[in-house]
Amino acid sequence: MLRVGLPENISPALLQDFPKDSVEFVPLSEHLDRDVDVEFWIPPMHGRLARPMFQHLRGVRVIQSLLAGVDWITPWLSKGILLCDGQGIHNVPVGEWIVAAILGSLKRFPELRDFQREQFWDGQVRNGKLADEEVTNSGQPTPYRVLGDELISKKVLIVGYGGIGNELERMLQPFRVEILRVARTAKPGVHSIAELKKLLPAADIVVLLVPLTDSTRGMFNAEMLRSMKDGALLVNAARGPVVETDALVAELQARRLHAALDVTDPEPLPKGHPLWSAPNCFLTPHVAGSVAGFFVRAYTFAAAQVRRYLAGEPLQNQVHEGY
């Protein structure tokens, strides 16, 4: 019997696709304080819980993360253990979050929501809430307090073009945008990461989807942010440390760039941090992939991986060098 370790609070309804005749489920407490034999481990989705739990696991040969990013696992991953990530599980919800964040930012929904709470109607008058002129997403100064923009015909640069990037491109097709694609290595229709800096000045919207690795940490530093066109929108649905926070805050406070962030550095973002109040910045607390259907998709995929493992077939989504 294959001993599959998983969080103890997982509903049995999510485990229907696992082969019952060859799998023994091992529910693992968040406060595990004894050694347990587990060969195939589905860890909890928080590093603060997973790492101490892993110290009590014996015989682990496969770790199947249900998250696309595994930067929270790789620092303490033992040699000889196969790590697989959850790529593909999050494609639709994260793609939808990105589209919503782009549209919400272009239409200035965060500011308009603030106006609603203050019962302030005159969002387009010249003398109102904001003292200074700002730059629109089209890069043009405007004396209006809130002026929306269009997504139609914008240039969208996707940095880290994989499964989510492909799904995002499909979702953006009705808006007739021009897609610029960047991945670790070049292939037909996709630029290499080495070409990123020269592509930035042309992009109206830059979407970050890269994993967090040594090579991507701090990728969007002050120099890269300065390369973005005036009024451009930076969307980070990757990891917070991919962007240098202080450099981004400076650009936002200068009202030169816009940002929509589902991830930050530090994270959680502490109260009083300048990102909370930075102009032209929309924040969500790392929830892009948190949707009702996630766990059904996640455990359906995990069950398929277990079946592959039992059959001696190669597992999908194997992680090598952080990818």
List the catalytic residue out of 223, 267, 313, 321: 267
239 is catalytic: yes
What angle do the packed helices 91-106 and 163-172 form, to 10 degrees? 50
Determine the straight-line distance between the first and last CA of the chain, rounded to whole angstroms.
30
Residue 313 a catalytic site member: no
* Length reported for the chain: 323
The answer to whether 101 touches 260, Cβ cutoff 8 Å, is yes
256: exposed, middle or buried (Cβ count in 10 Å: 0-12, 13-18, 19+): buried
CA distances from 266 to 242, 271, 296 (A): 11, 11, 30
Give CA–CA dist 211/320, Å, rounded. Answer: 12
Active-site residue (options: 3, 286, 307, 308)? 286
Per the DSSP assignment, residues forming a β-bridge with 156 are 179, 205
Report the interhelical angle of 91-106 vs 109-117 (nearest 10°). 70
Structural contact between residues 45 and 66, judged by C-beta atoms closer than 8 angstroms:
yes
Catalytic residue flag (residue 267): yes
Handedness of CA 314, 68, 208, 158 (dihedral sign): positive
Of the residues 239, 255, 256, 297, only one is catalytic, namely 239
Structure tokens at 121: 């109607």
Catalytic residues: 239, 267, 286
